[in-house]
Structure 1
Amino acid sequence: MKIAALQMVSTPDVDRNLADAVQLIAQAAAAGAQLVALPEYFCLMGRRDEDKLTHAEAEVQGPLQDALAQAAREHGVWLIGGTLPLRAEAPNKVRNTTLVWNPQGQPVARYDKIHLFAFDNGRESYDEGRVLEAGTQAVAFEAEGFRLGLSICYDLRFPEHFRSLMSPPCDVLVVPAAFTYTTGQAHWELLLRARAVENQCYVLAIGQGGQHENGRRTWGQSMVIDPWGQILAQQAEGAGVVMAEISHERIAEVRTQLPALKHRRC
């Protein structure tokens, strides 16, 4: 199966971001991708954290979800919709949510980001907990005979999250992200390759990548990594399609040669 990471440099303009996302979906589908994935916050890199509240949608109802469902249906692809804000139970909060649609445009999975990012080095400061309500459940789904486990950005730093997706084992771990330039430069590739190696599966990492209109710079480096930790495809910065082919045979080869998953004791 051909899979594609759709790297973006999203703006504070939701309509423009959505148009760019739909164009990238079409581009990837035309190149033969059967499953495509958008980055975290594909629809909005706002000027304030509170901008997410303005565009929050109810589940299975809203213009962002309608547009992505239509794109999946029109292009006949599995679509992992990066993340978009869904209404939370707590007042003045949203869930940072990954939704998945099948090639018929039907919703098949929802994952709410569990680990909320906080960072302060004296020059740049982030605290997602001000606006986001954390999720509680790990989620995986089946597509074209592959099992895919969902995560979002900061989840990458918590290996136990990915281990929880390995019973039964996933074939692909999906990581839509908006890593800061500072943290991405230091840890992005290191952590992604570690997750691939320790779980002996593919990793599909989809980043925001570049200088944003709100002043933020994200790391990019969207990539597909194989179960041996080899990078199959990659793009540094800027919008684009990062595509590679995955196979059950490669997963089986790695797990047979080095049966680490069978040797787990916890």
Structure 2
Amino acid sequence: MVSPSYHSSMVRDTDFRVSLVQMQVTGDREHNVEKALEYIYEAAEDDPELIVLPENFNFTGTDEEKKAHAETMDGPTLPKLQDAASDLGVHVVAGSIKMEVDDDDLLRNVSVLIDPDGEVQETYEKMHIFNANVGGNAYTGDNVERGGDDIVIADVNGVDVGMTICFDVRYPELFRILGLEGADVVLVPAMFTLHTGKDHWDHLLCSRAIENQYFVVAPGTCKQKPGGAWTYGRSLVADPWGTVTNKASDGERVITADLDLSRIEEVREKVPTLPQRRPDAYDWPDS
């Protein structure tokens, strides 16, 4: 594996305002989507440049139910968000939707960036699939979905925004490449379990921010899922120093944060770790 070169970030001097939607996800897709739309319109009152929904915001259930409710880019969920983005004139990230892929019996977990005209600007397929045994529950994501292969950075009003999803946060290689390729902000829409969230959520997100000296924006689901498992919530924003600047309390809500983009270069000048990397000395193992 060849480590990419470091590209110094050229960011605006002004703030970048982002709204994070924290919501409960049920087994009723219509209810979930209507709730998401309500929160998008509520968030728009704060005049953000970007509104981000959590992972699987439109539906969750058993493996069989997830497959049965899988969607395509044509709907039924995405067009409703496109209409809202166009109506409000704002970028919206559909945190993730389980989507069908031609000639594959496994789904993709897809995050979709919609531009202010209501057009799909970028898509990202979750790269790392959640397989774990935590809190007395076995999670076998690879029974339902297959990981994507592409790393994605999108331009949102002149800000380079990296796209990831939930379990990706445990893989620092992905976040390092996003930093080396110039990301100013990295999104982590999530459906984190309560069991792992209470011990790992803040640590993982702040570590990725510290290591790469950019903003991390992580909206999460909250409350109980169908079947009894609980999700963690506590949506947050971490700045390039690793300080949590905004954090949601329990329950469904919207939080809006102003990201001071000048902090990126300020932190990188204080502790210039990225340009001092030694890719020539890193001997990456084959597996």
Query: Partner residue of 1:38?
Result: 53
1:94 to 100, 104, 107: 107
Partner of 2:237: 224
SS of 2:219 mapped into structure 1: strand
**Equivalence for 1:117:** 130
* Partner Cα separation in structure 1 for residue 267 and residue 227 of structure 2: 43
In the TM superposition, what are the counterparts of 1:33-112 in structure 2 within 5 Å? 33-46=48-61, 48-59=62-73, 61-89=74-102, 91-112=104-125
Tell me the percent identity.
36
2:162 counterpart of 1:149: yes
The question of whether the paired residues in 2 share the 8 Å contact of 1:53 and 1:92 is answered with no
User: Match of 2:211, SS?
Assistant: helix
Q: Does 1:247 align with 2:249?
A: no
Count the aligned residue pairs. 264
TM-score normalised per structure 2: 0.89
Unmatched 5+ residue regions in structure 1? none
Q: What residue identity is the alignment partner of 1:39?
A: P
RMSD value over aligned CA atoms? Answer: 1.3
1:197–1:228 contact (8 Å) kept in structure 2: yes
In 2, Cα distance between equivalents of 1:155 and 1:187? 13
Q: Which runs of 4+ in 1 moved over 6 A?
A: none
Asked whether 1:25 is paired with 2:26, we answer: no
Equivalent position SS for 1:203: strand
Structure 1 SS opposite 2:161: strand
Letter in 2 for 1:224: V
8 A contact 1:12–1:214 mirrored in 2:
no
Q: In the alignment, is residue 199 of structure 1 matched against residue 188 of structure 2? A: no
CA distance in 2, matches of 1:30, 1:21: 15
Preserved contact between residue 134 and residue 196 of structure 2 (Cα < 8 Å): no
Distance in structure 2 (CA, Å) of the matches to 1:182 and 1:2: 31
TM-score w.r.t. length of structure 1: 0.95
State how far apart, in whole Å, the 1-side matches of 2:22 and 2:227 are: 18
Aligned residue for 1:92, secondary structure, equals: strand
Give the whole-Å Cα distance in 2 for the aligned partners of 1:96 and 1:210: 21
Structure with the greater relative contact order (CA < 8 A, sep ≥ 6): 1 or 2? 2
Larger Rg: 1 or 2? 2
Instruction: Name the SS of the counterpart of 1:218 in structure 2.
Output: strand
> How far 1:91 moved relative to its partner?
4.0
Q: Who is 2:11 aligned against?
A: none
